Amino acid sequence: MSTLHLVALILAIIGAINWGLVGLFQFDLVAALFGGPGAALSRIVYALVGLAGLALLFTSFGHAERPLRRSAVPPPVP
Q: What is the mean pLDDT of residues 14-24?
A: 96
- SS3 for 37? coil
pLDDT tops 80 at residue 23: yes
Q: What is the mean pLDDT of residues 73-77?
A: 72
68 — pLDDT class (breaks 50, 70, 90): low
Domain boundaries, the chain: 7-64
> What is the pLDDT, as a whole number, of residue 77?
79
Q: List Cα–Cα distances, 76 to 3, 15, 29, 54, 72, in angstroms.
A: 36, 49, 57, 44, 12
pLDDT tops 80 at residue 74: no
Contact 6, 13 (CB under 8 A): no
What secondary structure letter does DSSP report for 32?
H
2 — pLDDT class (breaks 50, 70, 90): confident
- SS3 for 46? helix
